């Protein structure tokens, strides 16, 4: 939606870009192209990139694996089927908010109000659904629209009034708590704690899809990925440009297929306890029934996959995405290149608040209720942490939607694992300290890799 509105003037200035200057022949291209080669060369280039400070999600993925192993050893139920699916669900609100924050962070800005904006949207949805009996599409739609409006307002204050985003969103963080409280305490229906009765809304977070649908989506994801990759490779080599080696592409596709297949297989197994029969009271009679199997991929996984695909496409394949990176990398250069930097700045806040609204809906769906604290507390900090842990830079210019997913999983694994591991009085305190330490570690990695990249850039 934002893509079209921020694209600068319909036709680019200067000569027609589709008919580039005539001096590009293949010999010339070869003169400036890297040494072509197989997987070995690609691997070496990758190692070189990592060593020069461009680590991407590598530390987060490594950290995630280590954390999972440690928690699993210390507390075997951490690795149970039920906990696996719980982990994905618990990570989902953080992932959504973080995915929006990636856009804001890409510009070197911050949105401290994303958490309470999520709360406002959730409260609005709950009030409309419960108090006024709005059907779920209307209630959720209202929440999403509220997210867009909040983003527009925030972006306008930052880009047009030119208040630093830190101050704008800090002020809005406070103000939104008030707005949320207002929604919770006023209007028709329950006050204080609004219980959500709509099954669709509560199933967003808690529901799972039929097992066959999980497999179908897996096939779609893998085939889609393979097709996109192959199309890229063939069209590049047809144009005489250096393309990724086919063997590497095949390897990537197989890796993705195996990873997803294992996940779908595990999620499709019955995680609902022993599966034995139990007595229930049915119409005054006691009958023996088997409990319904609890199995299937949670719906939130599909939602995350959907938005991940969309935003990755937008950031890497469209002019809008390119301009977001450009403004984040060097605002002045982007402005001189004719990019409407103000519009880009506003748009990232719109995306951030929109994604936060979805996060808010999921939080409400999880707890089946909304109160004045929904989206408050450490919701925002965990989301910022997730983005940064995943590899998005706080300094702008570097970040991907995938970072939000990886970082969100790390945050969820810590919360989930620590909750199981540490019992008693100090449970929360230790969990806070550990999460804070991990965030600090991620920010340190970010700062150090930036310094390293700077040094490499001079060399």
Partner 1 sequence: MAEPALSLRAITKSFGPVEVLRSVDFDAYAGQVTALVGDNGAGKSTLIKCIGGTYTIDSGQFFFEGREAHVHSPRQASELGIEIVYQDLALCDNLDIVQNMFLGRESHTGPVLDEIAMEKAAAGALASLHVRTVKSVRQRVSSLSGGQRQTVAIAKSVLWQSKVVILDEPTAALGVAQTAQVLELVRRLADQGIAVVLISHNMNDVLQVADRIAVLYLGQMAAIVDRKEVDQQQLVELITTGRTGTTGLPASSATAGV
Residue selected from 1, 10, 14, 279 as contacting partner 1 according to rule CB under 8 A? 14
Stretch that binds partner 1, among 222-230, 284-292, 333-341, 429-437 (CB under 8 A): 333-341
Rounded least distance, CB 400 to partner 1, Å:
12
Enter the DSSP assignment of 79.
Answer: G
Q: Which is nearer to partner 1, 39 or 440 (CB)?
A: 39
Comparing CA positions, the residue from 99, 100, 97, 96 lying closest to residue 348 is 100
From the CB of 386, what's the least distance to partner 1, in Å?
21
Name 167's Cβ contacts closer than 8 Å, sequence gap at least 6.
none
Cβ proximity of 379 and 100 under 8 Å: no
Q: Per CB under 8 A, which of residues 261..300 are in contact with partner 1?
A: none
**Least separation in angstroms between CB 313 and partner 1:** 9
CB of 218 to partner 1, least distance (A): 26
Distance between CA 322 and CA 133 in Å, rounded? Answer: 43
| Residues whose CB is less than 8 angstroms from the CB of residue 200 and which lie 6 or more positions away in sequence, other chains included | 136
Query: Which of 167, 185, 220, 241 contacts partner 1 by CB under 8 A?
Result: 241
Residue that is written with structure tokens 């250096």 in the block: 242
User: Nearest approach, Cβ of 13 to partner 1 (angstroms)?
Assistant: 5
For partner 1, the binding residue among 195, 318, 373, 378 (CB under 8 A) is 318
Site track 22-41 with partner 1 (rule: CB under 8 A), x = hit: xxxx-xxx-xxxx-------
Minimal distance, residue 347 CB to partner 1, in Å: 15
Residue number, 251 or 333, with CB nearest to partner 1: 333
400 interacts with partner 1 by CB under 8 A: no
Q: How many CB atoms lie within 10 A of CB 422?
A: 16
- Asked if 194 and 371 count as a contact pair (C-beta separation under 8 A), the reply is yes
Kindly tell me which residue out of 91, 158, 334, 387 binds partner 1, with binding defined by CB under 8 A. Answer: 334
Identify the burial level of 72 via C-beta atoms within 10 angstroms of its C-beta, where 0-12 means exposed, 13-18 middle and 19 or more buried: middle
Return d(Cα 269, Cα 284) in angstroms, integer: 33
Q: Which residues contact 309 (CB under 8 A, 6 or more apart)?
A: none
CB of 42 to partner 1, least distance (A): 12
185, 192 Cβ separation under 8 angstroms: yes
For tokens 């063997």, what's the residue? 247
Question: What residues numbered 378-397 form the site for partner 1, per CB under 8 A?
Answer: 397
Candidate ranges 95-103, 134-142, 177-185, 332-340; the one touching partner 1 (CB under 8 A): 332-340
Out of 1, 10, 13, 425, the only residue in the binding site for partner 1 (CB under 8 A) is 13
Q: Which residues of 21-35 are buried (b: 16+ CB within 10 A; e: fewer)?
A: eeeeeeeeeeeeeee
Residue 283, Cβ neighbours under 10 Å: how many? Answer: 5
202 φ, ψ (degrees, to nearest 5): -70, -25
Segment contacting partner 1 by CB under 8 A, of 138-146, 249-257, 288-296, 327-335? 327-335
Q: Does 18 bind partner 1 (CB under 8 A)?
A: yes
Minimum CB separation of residue 64 from partner 1 in Å reads: 25
Site size toward partner 1 (CB under 8 A) is 54
d(CA 186, CA 192): 9
User: What residues line the site for partner 1 (CB under 8 A)?
Assistant: 3, 8, 12-15, 17-18, 20-25, 27-29, 31-34, 52, 54, 235-236, 239-242, 317-319, 322-323, 325-326, 328-330, 332-334, 336-339, 397-398, 453-454, 456-459
């Amino acid at each position: 939606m934002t893509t079209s509105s921020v694209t600068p003037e319909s036709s680019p200035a200067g000569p027609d870009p589709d008919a580039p200057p005539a001096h590009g022949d293949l010999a010339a291209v070869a003169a400036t192209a890297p040494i072509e080669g197989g997987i070995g060369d690609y691997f070496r280039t990758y190692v070189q990139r990592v060593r020069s400070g461009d680590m991407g999600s590598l530390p987060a993925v490594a950290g995630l694996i280590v954390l999972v192993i440690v928690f699993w050893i210390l507390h075997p139920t951490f690795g149970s089927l039920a906990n696996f699916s719980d982990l994905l669900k618990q990570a989902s609100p953080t992932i959504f908010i973080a995915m929006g924050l990636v856009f804001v962070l890409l510009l070197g800005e911050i949105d401290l109000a994303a958490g309470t904006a999520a709360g406002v949207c959730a409260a609005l949805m709950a009030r409309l659904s419960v108090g006024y009996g709005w059907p779920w599409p209307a209630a959720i739609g209202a929440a999403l629209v509220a997210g867009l409006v909040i983003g527009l307002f925030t972006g306008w204050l930052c880009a047009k009034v030119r208040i630093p985003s830190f101050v704008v969103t800090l002020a809005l963080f406070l103000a939104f708590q008030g707005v949320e409280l207002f929604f919770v305490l006023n209007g028709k229906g329950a006050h204080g704690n609004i219980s959500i009765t709509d099954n669709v809304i509560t199933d967003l977070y808690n529901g799972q899809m039929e097992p066959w649908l999980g497999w179908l989506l897996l096939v779609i994801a893998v085939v889609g990925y393979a097709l996109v990759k192959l199309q890229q490779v063939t069209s590049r080599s047809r144009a005489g440009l250096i393309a990724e080696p086919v063997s590497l592409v095949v390897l990537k596709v197989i890796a993705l297929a195996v990873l997803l297949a294992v996940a779908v297989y595990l999620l499709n197994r019955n995680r609902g306890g022993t599966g034995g029969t139990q007595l229930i009271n049915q119409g005054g009679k006691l009958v023996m029934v088997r409990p319904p199997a609890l199995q299937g991929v949670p719906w939130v996984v599909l939602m995350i996959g959907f938005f991940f695909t969309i935003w990755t496409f937008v950031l890497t394949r469209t002019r809008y995405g390119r301009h977001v990176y450009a403004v984040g990398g060097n605002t002045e250069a982007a402005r001189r290149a004719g990019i409407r930097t103000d519009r880009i700045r506003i748009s990232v806040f719109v995306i951030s608040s929109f994604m936060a609204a979805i996060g808010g809906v999921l939080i409400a769906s999880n707890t089946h209720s909304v109160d004045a604290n929904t989206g408050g507390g450490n919701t925002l900090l965990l989301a910022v942490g997730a983005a940064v842990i995943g590899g998005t830079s706080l300094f702008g210019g570097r970040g991907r939607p995938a970072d939000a997913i990886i970082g969100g999983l790390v945050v969820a694994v810590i919360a989930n694992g620590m909750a199981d591991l540490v019992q008693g009085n100090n449970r929360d305190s230790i969990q806070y300290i550990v999460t804070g330490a991990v965030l600090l570690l991620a920010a340190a990695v970010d700062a150090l890799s930036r310094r390293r990249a700077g040094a490499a850039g001079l060399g």
